[in-house]
Amino acid sequence: MGNQYKQLTLKERYHIEALSKLGFSARKIASEIKRGNKTVSIELKRCNCGVYCAEIANEQAQDKRRTSAKFSKSTETLKQSVRSALLLSLSPEQIAGRMKYEAVAEAVSCNTIYNLVKRERWQHLLTRKGKRYKQRQGTEAGARLIPGRVDISECPPEVDEKLEIGHWEGDTVHGQDGYFVTLVERVSKLFLTRRVHNKSKKAVTCAIKKMLKPFKAMCKTITFDNGGEFAGHQQLKKYLKCDTYFAKPYHSWQRGLNENTNGLLRRYFPKGMTIGALSEEDIKQAEFLINIRPRKALNYMSPYEFLTGKRVSLIAAI
């Protein structure tokens, strides 16, 4: 086991100063004070004035130690913040973007976070693209069975332009013994979900009414796939005073935001999970976490912040 290095004391520095003034070489000074040649050689170069001064050298050494300790503390704070954010399923890109948005003191780049993940062996905390599940698609036959169906091609241009709030996408997510009805607003990315025990037209229509009741004022259109569970859309049009549209069969990308946000829900409730055993609190917690998730499309604001105008110290708080 090697000897543990000890910092030079002020007394040793006075000794070095005296011997240096007497013309002793660095090697001879090292021998006199029983220190390594390299230690003394570096110490003699500490003063920039050309003449070694024990007091100046000691002050510089203390400043360096204070800076080093401060940097170490800052690094630990950064590590803690990054790890906590990774546990919230945020990607390094989202963490870096959010740090910049919140103007946190330890803000670093995406590459720095990836390097930290590699150094700390946190790769298992990175959000990974899991198994790609085959997306359920409404069929052409299903489309013909939906009364009053209006094709997505007839949507007003402002829906795709995303210049106004109020245009929603709707879907269902399958579980082992139940389903989630999901809605997402195209501009704000606000996500809503509700559990239903069967996928009947009545159950799904009722769930959508309850979810959108608080948001009637910001409901202009809803776009669904061609599943028969959305056959009650005409009731929704009347209740919400909005227009409803349907994506073309086998064109899931026409509701891409909804499909992607359903993937976020799957992170909390993987395929095959027993949905019926979940509490309402479990479901609301997942909905909340998705709605405070920073989005690149919103300049790393969360849907909650975008809609309310209130800032949340997401990174600073963790």
Per-residue confidence band for 1, with pLDDT thresholds at 50, 70 and 90:
very low
Task: Enter the pTM of the model.
Answer: 0.72
Buried b (16+ CB within 10 A) or exposed e, 138-162: beeebbeebeebbebeebeeebeee
Q: At 262, phi and psi to the nearest 5?
A: -60, -35
CATH class of 152-304: alpha beta
What pLDDT does residue 131 have?
Answer: 44
Query: Three-class SS of residue 252?
Result: helix
Q: Give residue limits of the domains in the chain.
A: 10-67, 76-125, 152-304
Those residues with Cβ within 8 angstroms of residue 216's Cβ, 6 or more apart along the chain or in another chain = 240, 241
Q: Is pLDDT above 70 for 252?
A: no
Residue 164 has pLDDT above 80, yes or no: yes
Q: Per-residue pLDDT tens for 104-124? A: 877 889 999 999 999 999 999
Q: What is the per-residue pLDDT for 249?
A: 78
Q: 241's torsion region: left (phi>0), alpha (psi -120 to 50) or beta?
A: left
Cα 208–Cα 212–Cα 217 angle in degrees, nearest 5 = 145
C-alpha 269: how far from its chain's center? Answer: 18
DSSP string, 107-175: ---HHHHHHHHHHHT-GGGS------PPPP---HHHHHTSTT--BGGGS-HHHHHT-SS-EEEEEEEE-
In the predicted structure, residue 161 carries a pLDDT above the cut 90: no
173 has pLDDT over 60: yes
Say what the pLDDT of residue 64 is.
78
**Chain segment 215-247, per-residue pLDDT in tens:** 999 999 999 988 899 999 999 999 999 999 998
